[in-house]
Amino acid sequence: MLSILRCGQFISEHSSSIFNVAIPGHLDTDSYSCDQSYTIELLSIDPLAIYINNFLRDEEIEHLLELGSQTAVLPKEDIVCECLTKRMKSILGNVQHMEVETLQIVKYDAGGDHYKSHTDWFDAPKNDLPYGSEGGSEKPSNRLGSIFAYLDDDCERGETYFPFLPSVLESADVNKFALAAGDTGLLVKPRRGNAIFWNNLHGNGSGDERTAHAGIAVESGTKIGLNIWSRYFLDEPMVGGD
């Protein structure tokens, strides 16, 4: 069950060896365009959390589901994965975005699949070399930005819960958000194609405990999500710089 895994750190440490995923040929790579038109809604300013409407197109979702419909690391060189990496970097803008980790699909089935409360940042920086770098030496890094996108929302419950973020207004879209018990925390419902972005670190590079989040148990159906994590290298400016 997903609740027994600290899946993010496990996947990062084993991404090169635990899965071999074939690249299907159903997407028309000649006509595929990485362009995307999405809208955003601010959910929290401090820490920063953003809701992204239409982050993924239907053809992209279908392609990703063909790549791996169970918990799986996706091939970094895949055309859609490369596009989503660029899309994450575009959202980060002036914030450091040298590296985006290999994308990861996670699946939650009925019967109680959930993910206990956790943070995405590492307790201690990890030594890594930016993807595609040749030569040089590894340097300390941590997870700065997180995106959790929804690929399949054919389920009951399964919300993403942030206990320390502000709750939505009662007038918020009930198709996307729910009020937590006692109006405490933020509950985001699975909605195919939409996503949440949040910032994991304080300005000094330390982890922000307020970004803790959990996957509420799926009561029926299936929820499939996509994790996208950007890396912050501690020897470079977090904001601005060359």
Question: Mind listing the pLDDT tens digit for each residue in 156-185?
Answer: 999 999 999 999 998 999 999 998 877 789
pLDDT digits (tens, 9 = 90+) for 73-117: 999 999 999 999 999 999 999 999 999 999 999 999 888 777 899
The number of folded domains in the chain is 1
Is residue 17 one of the residues assigned to a domain? no
Is residue 165 one of the residues assigned to a domain? yes
What pTM, to 2 d.p., does this model score? Answer: 0.86
Phi, psi of 13 (to 5 degrees): -80, -20
Is residue 16 one of the residues assigned to a domain? no
| CATH code, domain carrying 193 | 2.60.120.620
Is residue 203 one of the residues assigned to a domain? yes
CA 103 to the chain's CA centroid: 8
Bond prior to 163 in cis (omega within 30° of 0)? no
Is residue 104 one of the residues assigned to a domain? yes
